Structure 1
Amino acid sequence: MDYVSPKEVAGTMMNAAITKASLSVKDLLIRGSMSGALLGISVTLAYLASSQTKLSMAGALVFPVGFVIIVILGLELVTGSFSLVPLAWLEKKITTSTMLKNLFWVFIGNLIGSVLFAFLFWTASSEMGTAAILGTIEQMLVTAAEKKTTGYAMHGSAGLCAAFVKAILCNWMVCMGVVMAMTSKSTVGKILAAGIPIFIFFALGYEHAVVNMFVIPAGMMFGAKVTIADWWLYNQLIVTLGNIIGGLLFTGMAIYYTYGTKTESVTAPTV
């Protein structure tokens, strides 16, 4: 049996948090950049599947591949770290500066990898901007970039609130994928367990900070009517905050504080 009980998972969560917090800036940047690029690749693959089948659900089915690679290789994704690293801080196993340093550099690494892949994808797809007609995937990126920024802004505070709540719901599922991967010791088990919550968030159209680090700048490169200020004020900052709350409160703390602080005991039944 390769199943790992929730109580054991809680211990693994804390060990993972401490391990992540001990990584060097170099490792955080390299592993973070790889994760950002992999999620960008997953988005383009998902858009391809959706455009070919005319079914958005097809895109959601293939999108988890990038996340699964991140989990299997032990790379760094800041949205996943939101549910783990603060736990070590709450339990006084790491300092405040260590926690902030870790999350900051993973965020920067994710941003670098996402924007780099966006540029490489734009270079390949548009032939350095010389192609006259955008392909289907490129058009989807433009539409998504505008919808995720000025689309929310058009509805004022209600739109920004919607983005914030979608970000909470998103990272609830993403971090569930991080934790679910810990419930199995086999590669196949980790793939299935991690992929299910990721499928849910993408299928429901929730807001993920690292995905948006690729989608919005890529859309801008292909001509979306979005400025850098639009990107950060109407999406990135709001979504990042929502992701922190969703991942830490609804997954990290919820699971750790119901399993990690208890000792299992069996009481003999009375006769």
Structure 2
Amino acid sequence: MFLETVDQFATIATTKAAFLRRSPVGFWISSMMAGAYVGLGIILIFCVGANVDPSIRPIVMGASFGIALTLVIFAGSDLFTGHTMFMTLGWLRRRTSLRDLATCWGASWAGNLAGCVFLAAIFVAGGGGLALAGKSPLILNIAAAKMNAPALELVARAMLCNWLVCLAIWTSARMTNDTAKCIAIFWCVYAFIGSGFEHSVANMTLLSIALLAEHPPTVTLGGLGWNLLWVTIGNAISGAGIVGLGYWTASRPPAEADATPQPRKGEVLVKAETIGVSMPEVLVRKGVYAWMPPLPAIPGIELAGTIVE
């Protein structure tokens, strides 16, 4: 049920690792773009949410953040939180190495941070718009709270956040209609913003804006490091351990699936060389033996395989 998507993401992991080896500068720029795209979403939600009644603020801000992940997916870029899932699946499917995983995680995280800081500097230099207007801007209050939150709370909220972000990527990959993809992305990011969860890349822009603007003593560089440390850990746990490992485990066939099945009358034994080929009452996987009617008797099905008997 999930094998096709797992293999699709494992292939993406292979492509990302090759991209980083072939063009480190290109990968860095792509990662900076991802950070900036998420940052644009953060700027938007704080501009529209600054003067909204607190009782409906989460609704308004959550409904405005969809632009961030929509740009990341449709424009193309390298987002750290998505890579926690991609690279894990690539390693679990033995398409990439642990070194590939570590370098892609590190390079995408650093590139995301650079893009976020760059965007934050431009935004603050431009006056900060509605996000920094007034005596006590909402963005500064939120930043101070994030910088001084307990580690366990940050990790837990970060796990919930990237669970939703990776689900947005996962579900959109299983759809063929672009409108449906946008709707899936919207609901997943709406849930994490509206619930107040923690996204490391989103926080990079938010906290950088707070530091670069005139801020209270509760907003510090050490607070930025504290927040990003625990939020990054939480994001990685859910992206790799919950979504990545979870769907990889769910897609694995049971142990008995590799045993040679018993034939029915008129069937021949075939060793499949393709992946995920649907047959009547059986799902053929690469390297698995299956009994089925002779291949010429299966109209409309293209199966690359070897007839054993």
Taking a change above 3 Å as real, the CA distance of residues 196 and 261 of structure 1, as seen in their structure-2 partners, is farther
Pair 1:173 & 2:164 matched: yes
Taking a change above 3 Å as real, the CA distance of residues 265 and 232 of structure 1, as seen in their structure-2 partners, is farther
Equivalence for 1:113: 115
CA contact (8 A) 1:46 1:60 kept: yes
Instruction: Tell me which amino acid in the other structure corresponds to 2:142.
Output: A
146, 149, 154: which one aligns with 2:147: 149
1:32-70 CA-to-partner distances (Å, cap 9, x unmatched) read: 111111111101111222235432211101101111111
Equivalence for 2:4: 8
- Equivalent runs, 1:139-218 vs 2, <5 Å: 139-150=137-148, 152=149, 159-218=150-209
TM-score (norm 2): 0.75
Instruction: Tell me which amino acid in the other structure corresponds to 1:118.
Output: A
Q: Which has the larger radius of gyration?
A: 2
Larger helix percent: 1
Question: Displacement of 1:81 after TM fit?
Answer: 0.5
Equivalence for 2:299: none
Whole-angstrom CA distance in 1 between matches of 2:185 and 2:134: 29
Considering only aligned residues, what root-mean-square deviation do their CA atoms show, in Å?
2.3
- Equivalent runs, 1:36-55 vs 2, <5 Å: 36-54=35-53, 55=56
Whole-angstrom CA distance in 2 between matches of 1:186 and 1:89: 29
Equivalence for 1:82: 84
SS at match of 2:25: helix
TM-score (norm 1): 0.85
1:161-180 CA-to-partner distances (Å, cap 9, x unmatched) read: 11110011111111111111
Whole-angstrom CA distance in 1 between matches of 2:205 and 2:174: 30
Which segments of structure 1 move beyond 6 Å, counting only runs of 4 or more?
none
CA contact (8 A) 2:10 2:95 kept: no
**Deviates further, 114-123 or 224-233:** 224-233
Q: Which runs of 5+ in 1 are unaligned?
A: 128-132, 153-158
1:109-161 CA-to-partner distances (Å, cap 9, x unmatched) read: 1000101111111000159xxxxx940598122111100012x1xxxxxx211
Q: Which runs of 5+ in 2 are unaligned?
A: 255-275, 283-309
- Equivalent runs, 1:117-128 vs 2, <5 Å: 117-125=119-127
Larger strand percent: 2
**Greater relative contact order (Cα 8 A, min sep 6): structure 1 or 2?**
1
% same residue: 22
